[in-house]
Amino acid sequence: MKKFLIVGNWKMNLNVHEASILVKRLDDHIKINRNVEVVLAPNFLVLQPIVREIDKRKFKLAAQNAYFVDEGAYTGEVSFSMLRNLVDYCLIGHSERRIYFNESLEMIRDKVAAAVRNNIKPILCVGETSQEKQDNETKRVLHDQVTTALANLTKEEVNQVVIAYEPVWAISTFGGSKPAKPSDIKLAIDWIRQILSELYGYSVSKDQTVIYGASVEAEFVSDILSLEGVDGLLPGAASLNYKQFSQIIDATTKVKI
């Protein structure tokens, strides 16, 4: 049976105390399941205390960002080498980082390489804005984002990257109210796999973990995860609510593939 990856992106929410309460509630409501890997992505401050609180058989941790240089005069930054052994994953290139913090394609490429160098799996977020969608630019945008982000990896390293298709226009904080249509998700994810196949060959493309994020809620889980080539989900808002997040996990365990 297929193993799905579900990543809760908490964004800039929850202080240490609130995060600890959420983890306890999630622990009560989520069972260990061999077919679902559950990853929580809290803010930096929460990562260190939470690593001691989580049941590691149930939850893994992701950072939401990090800097590509290992140490030095970069006031305010946290490096991937500092996150080594603390997290398994790190979100890279989330649209909020690209849009609010002007992260360029090249910076994202360097972050992806730094994560892999430090034994942290990048969760590379890619996706078009509503303007780019209107202009029929989705394929070009995904092509540019995927090819540059992976450019400094070897073929063997590419499979350590999780690619998350997150259409910006469907993300709740950018005004999205429901996920992209399954047919649109399928088109985008097939395209991502085609790009990978052309660059690195069919077997890399087939083995790549590709997930979907944007306005994910439990009611949509089965339709999205039943699509061929979709390996998991990246809920944001719904991951802050223990009922909603555990319902998403529950719905995932019921998907038959």
Query: How many of the chain's residues bind ligand PGA (CB under 6 A)?
Result: 15
Min CB(241)–ligand PGA separation in Å: 11
Stretch binding ligand PGA (CB under 6 A), from 16-24, 111-119, 209-217, 241-249:
209-217
Q: State the Cα torsion 141-69-196-157 to the nearest 10°.
A: -170
Contact 59, 39 (CB under 8 A): yes
Nearer to ligand PGA, 19 or 235 (CB): 235
Piece of 42-50, 126-134, 151-159, 234-242 that binds ligand PGA (CB under 6 A): 234-242
Q: Which is closer to ligand PGA, CB of 205 or CB of 236? A: 236
Residue 125 dihedral angles phi and psi, to the nearest 5°: -95, 130
Cα–Cα distance for residue pair 128/169, rounded to 1 Å: 8
Using CB under 6 A, which of the segments 20-28, 49-57, 165-173, 221-229 binds ligand PGA?
165-173
Q: Which of 152, 172, 194, 241 binds ligand PGA (CB under 6 A)?
A: 172
Task: Say which of 37, 94, 128, 217 is annotated catalytic.
Answer: 94
Single residue of 38, 230, 234, 248 touching ligand PGA by CB under 6 A: 234
Work out how close the CB of 155 gets to ligand PGA at its nearest, in angstroms, rounded to a whole number: 28
CA distance 115 to 60: 16
Whether 166 sits among the annotated catalytic residues: the reply is: yes
**Sequence-ordered strand ranges (E) for the chain:** 4-9, 36-41, 59-63, 89-92, 121-126, 162-165, 209-212, 232-233
Sign of CA dihedral 100, 101, 104, 106: negative
The two structure tokens encoding residue 18: 């609130």
- 232 binds ligand PGA per the rule CB under 6 A: no
In the bound state with ligand PGA, the residue whose beta carbon lies nearer, of 93 and 213, is 213
Strands 232-233 and 4-9: parallel
* Interacting residues toward ligand PGA by CB under 6 A: 9, 166, 171-173, 176, 213-216, 234-238
Which residues are annotated as catalytic? 94, 166
